[in-house]
Amino acid sequence: MIRRRFIKSCAGLAAALSSASCVEFHRGPLAGAPKGATFAKLRGANIHFVDEGQGPVVVLIHGFASSMGAWAGIRKALAGKFRVIALDLKGFGWSDRPEGDYSPKAQAEIILDLLDERGVDSPVALVAHSWGSSIALQVALLAPDQIERIALYDAWVYDDQLPNFFRWARADGLGEGLVGAFYNERSDEKMASAFYDRKYITEELIETVEDQLSRPGTKAAALAAIRGQRFDEVEDRYKTIDKPTLLLWGREDKVTTLPFGERLVNELPQAKLIVYPRCGHFPMIEAVRPSTRDLLAFLIEMKAPVTKPASEKPAPEPTPLEPKDNPEQPAPGSDTEPRQ
């Protein structure tokens, strides 16, 4: 009897996954884009970006299942002191979700192309969160001379950090079924695991995250990004990244736990680790004052830029989407998946 129930349960799960396995990419504009959004055509995808301010260049790289909205508070703090370039990575935010490579290396190449298109000649600072940290480290590996310093919030960069869900999703068919069935489910529970203090998990935040996860092509892009996380092939090279690096970590982070920060600070030649108590996966939100203060103190040592500020440079013709009175809302995104 137990065996028959088990078989029946497995059959039911297989049927549910099969029915949810329609995971398709999407190319082109997304309905509801913020008014005045600017895009650059890079490696076959329209990439949503902002380029604002004057001074040394700081590039903001968001995490998995998130967008540049995660940096809303940081952008304000950097205003007037730095030239800030932030983007929605391919497959996230308002950027395209075409079929293709979504690995950290592929995303890093897009960032380098964006810097080239924006006329950035001087070395830049990379500020990244979670999965975005693996992309920042890839940028540093691909173009070390273009990087002056790196700041990483709760970095997601090791093979040991990958949950079973991500490993199972590598299998053809199974990955489509799992992501199709579960990727945008239980957003409130996923966000709860990312914060120490539940006061940050507002109804507005959950609605914003659910909106981002429901956009056409998002599941296919997320699956491709999951399958591209082959950290075991690159993590041994982190020790060659000889750049001043600041690691900012939430002590109570359940997504990227503190031991990984302690591991990374020992492997990066010029790294410093700062830990924030009573803080989860988003120090730029839960520990906004001390973490922003530490970030600014780290970045203020950057050299003056060689290039003209963005306000004096002719920008390439952007690819606008249909204007909507729906400005982008700051949101950290979910940055978590079921940890089976």
- Burial code (b: 16+ CB inside 10 Å, e: under 16) for 241-251 equals bebbbbbbbbb
Given pLDDT bands bounded at 50, 70 and 90, which one contains residue 10? very low
Angle between helices 203-213 and 187-194 (to 10 degrees): 120
Average pLDDT for 7-16: 43
- Is residue 260 in some structural domain? yes
- Is residue 118 in some structural domain? yes
pTM for the whole structure: 0.86
Contact assessment for residue 140 and residue 126, using Cβ atoms and an 8 Å cutoff: yes
Contact assessment for residue 335 and residue 250, using Cβ atoms and an 8 Å cutoff: no
Residue 339 DSSP one-character state: -
pLDDT digits (tens, 9 = 90+) for 82-109: 999 999 999 999 999 999 999 999 999 9
- Is residue 162 in some structural domain? no
- Is residue 187 in some structural domain? no
Query: How many structural domains comprise the chain?
Result: 1
Q: Lowest-pLDDT range, 158-172, 230-244, 249-263, 315-329?
A: 315-329
* Percentage of the chain modeled with pLDDT above 70: 83
Give the domain range for residue 87.
29-157+234-312
Give how far the C-alpha of residue 146 lies from the chain's centroid of Cα atoms, to the nearest Å: 20
What is the number of residues in the chain? Answer: 340
Contact assessment for residue 52 and residue 78, using Cβ atoms and an 8 Å cutoff: no
- For the sheet containing 124-129, what is the strand order? 38-42, 45-53, 83-87, 57-61, 124-129, 147-153, 245-250, 271-276
Q: Taking 90 as the threshold, does the pLDDT of residue 14 lie above it?
A: no
Average pLDDT for 9-29: 62
The CATH number of whichever domain residue 303 belongs to comes to: 3.40.50.1820
The CA-to-CA distance between both ends of the chain, in Å, stands at 27
Cα atoms in the 13 Å half-sphere on the side-chain side of 227: 19
Whole-angstrom CA distances from 136 to 1, 25, 183, 209 are 53, 25, 25, 23
- Is residue 283 in some structural domain? yes
- Is residue 198 in some structural domain? no
Average pLDDT for 179-186: 89
Contact assessment for residue 220 and residue 183, using Cβ atoms and an 8 Å cutoff: no
For residue 132, what is the enclosing H or E element? Answer: helix 131-142
Cα atoms in the 13 Å half-sphere on the side-chain side of 108: 23
Angle at alpha carbon of residue 188, lines to 327 and 220, rounded to 5° = 70
Residue 306 confidence (pLDDT): 55
Q: Taking 80 as the threshold, does the pLDDT of residue 45 lie above it?
A: yes
Residue 9 confidence (pLDDT): 41
Given pLDDT bands bounded at 50, 70 and 90, which one contains residue 187? confident
Residue 261 DSSP one-character state: H
pLDDT digits (tens, 9 = 90+) for 255-284: 999 999 999 999 999 999 999 999 999 999
Given pLDDT bands bounded at 50, 70 and 90, which one contains residue 321? very low
Residue 307 DSSP one-character state: S
- Is residue 337 in some structural domain? no
d(CA 239, CA 323): 45
Q: Taking 90 as the threshold, does the pLDDT of residue 296 lie above it?
A: yes
Q: Taking 90 as the threshold, does the pLDDT of residue 289 lie above it?
A: yes
Contact assessment for residue 261 and residue 204, using Cβ atoms and an 8 Å cutoff: no
Average pLDDT for 157-173: 97
Q: Taking 70 as the threshold, does the pLDDT of residue 315 lie above it?
A: no
Q: Taking 70 as the threshold, does the pLDDT of residue 183 lie above it?
A: yes
Q: Match 């982008």 to its residue by tokens.
A: 328
Residue 29 confidence (pLDDT): 87
Residue 304 confidence (pLDDT): 74
Q: Taking 50 as the threshold, does the pLDDT of residue 334 lie above it?
A: no
Dihedral over Cα of 305, 309, 313, 319: its sign: positive
- Is residue 307 in some structural domain? yes
Nearest to 233 by CA among 158, 131, 132: 158
Q: Taking 50 as the threshold, does the pLDDT of residue 326 lie above it?
A: no
Nearest to 189 by CA among 130, 255, 93: 255
Q: Taking 90 as the threshold, does the pLDDT of residue 339 lie above it?
A: no
